[in-house]
Amino acid sequence: MVVIALTLAGYYMATRVLFDKSIPDAPCTMDITHGEFINDQYRQYQFKGSITLWLRNNMITIFGVYNTAEGMKKIARSLLLDHVKKDKKVVTAEVKATHVELSDEVHDPENFFARTNDNLTFHFQKIKKGEYLVMINNNWVATCREH
């Protein structure tokens, strides 16, 4: 009986500690279809596109359509993260740099998601294997799926 109890306890601990990831290991994508937001200038905008968290590479990529009162513009950029700390279900980081692609029509690197030197906090709640609910800076909430 003792051997069976210890075996079951060991199995439970091994699966919990070794295999139950509380934050994504692989690239994790948030697909946003009808996101309505307010930017730092207090102007409304809509975003339709994908945001991919590359936590292993300390990077976030953003690709989509940014729709404001001035019209629709394509957005394509990546944020390089620094001082990344992972603790159970929370990841904190600082935006080190923003790389704006040539195809990006918004052009202002400070105008979407986060500025250079801004702090980001990601709270993850595992929904099922490879799928997480993520809240970013108590503002963005989306489902993130690993690839």
Checking if the pLDDT of 10 tops 70, the result is no
Return the biggest CA–CA distance within the chain.
72
SS (H, E, C) 28-60: EEEEEEEEEEECCCCCEEEEEEEEEEEHHHCEE
DSSP category for residue 104: -
CA of residue 75 relative to chain centroid, distance: 17
Token look-up 């997480």 returns 132
Terminal Cα-to-Cα distance of the chain (whole angstroms): 42
Selected residue with higher pLDDT from 110 and 22: 22
Rounded to whole angstroms, the Cα distance separating 123 from 63 reads: 22
pLDDT value at residue 29:
97
Nearest to 37 by CA among 61, 64, 68, 60: 68
pLDDT digits (tens, 9 = 90+) for 112-144: 778 889 999 999 999 999 999 999 887 778 899
pLDDT digits (tens, 9 = 90+) for 18-71: 555 788 989 999 999 988 887 777 878 888 999 999 999 999 999 999 887 778
